[in-house]
Amino acid sequence: MSNLKHVAVVGATGAVGVEMLRCLEQRNFPVGQLTLLASARSAGKKMKFKGEDVTIKELTPDSFAGVDIALFSAGGGISRDFAPHAVKAGAVVVDNSSFFRQDPTVPLVVPEINAADVKNHQGIIANPNCTTAISLMALYPLHQAFGVKRIFASSYQAVSGTGAQAIEELAKQSREWAAENRAWDAAKLSSKPHVYPHQIAFNAIPHVDSFLDTGYTKEEMKMENEGRKIMHHPDFRASVTCVRIPVFRSHSISISAEFEKPVDLAKAREVLAQAPGLDVLDDPANKVYPLALDIAGRDNCAVGRLRIDCALDNGLSFWVVGDQLLKGAALNAVQIAECLV
């Protein structure tokens, strides 16, 4: 491939697709030609890239002629149906859906952790789940130092992880409550939710993705299954509860991790401070710790609330926050594309 690449973005009009374009532009990715692909109803509309209008085209099996790298973020069904066409046309697919993540022939990559796996691709590289990627940005450096055995975690996930309709649902419900001038203890609204099974405004819903027979959700099991593959750690175990909260952007995860080796707090801070793509914000006495509001829009994840876990042997508890549209999706995909270049 030449230095300049023909890049296609599938799902260009979605929240992640928009961020992919922003990342390509801000990181000066060597885009020689850009193809924006979406559904038929978006075809003909225009999006800006480096100050120029780019016309969106309808996604079809023949959309990938001459494409070098295809960034997919349009759902598992689209990836299943169209990624093989892109590969057949000669493109390398970086897929943001869950469809290929557990395929043993498809690398699952967080570049700060396992960039070398990119070279093993057979045309498709998978982007991990957003909560998994953000968590591993802090967990993996600690694993390298102390050898992680298992974690107990709870995630606090922003509505933008569900999509634009969920963002609007939270905004609409918040406006409805404010318009009715309700008392603080009467926050339950009369209107029916559409995106979530329950009202999301002023609430916390312990239900992300569909439930499995075990009682865990698919989202919760991704931490263990994807973590094992990314870290090359088949014995890694994770018990996770995923919660949707009324925050627009950035996921937060509380993690209690148990390690093979005794954990030294000063050493843990040193390890995390040197980790790429991660900021340490850990001064509780001065109320300094990662906040979703502060991390939204930032490329780096952040970790804080570091403390020796009082209930686990060789345990460390910490709080990690990341923008799920960036490191949890678009940024990570563009970083993978940079590995290909």
Q: What residues are labeled active site? A: 130, 251
Cβ–Cβ < 8 Å for 256, 308:
no
In whole angstroms, what is the distance from residue 322 CA to residue 306 CA? 16
Exposed/middle/buried for 150, CB within 10 Å: 0-12, 13-18, 19+?
Answer: middle
97 is in an annotated binding site: no
Q: Which two tokens mark 188?
A: 């339950």
13 is in an annotated binding site: yes
160 is in an annotated binding site: yes
Q: Which two tokens mark 145?
A: 């130092």
Cβ–Cβ < 8 Å for 317, 295:
no
| Long-range contact pairs involving 165-173 (C-beta distance under 8 Å, separation at least 24) | 165/194, 165/195, 166/195, 166/196, 166/200, 167/15, 167/248, 169/193, 169/194, 169/195, 169/196, 169/200, 170/200, 170/201, 170/246, 170/248, 173/199, 173/200, 173/201
324 is in an annotated binding site: yes
In whole angstroms, what is the distance from residue 243 CA to residue 132 CA? 14
- Total residues found in the chain within this entry: 341
335 is in an annotated binding site: no
101 is in an annotated binding site: yes
In whole angstroms, what is the distance from residue 57 CA to residue 42 CA? 8
Cβ–Cβ < 8 Å for 306, 279:
no
How many angstroms from the chain centroid is the CA of residue 217?
17
204 is in an annotated binding site: no
41 is in an annotated binding site: yes
Beta bridge partners of 5: 31
14 is in an annotated binding site: yes
42 is in an annotated binding site: yes
Strand ranges (E), 187-296: 237-244, 251-259, 278-280
Binding site for substrate, residues?
Answer: 157, 244
Q: Which residues are annotated as a binding site for phosphate?
A: 101
Q: Residue ranges for the binding site?
A: 13-16, 41-42, 101, 157, 160-161, 244, 324
Could you tell me which residues are annotated as the binding site for NADP(+)? 13-16, 41-42, 160-161, 324
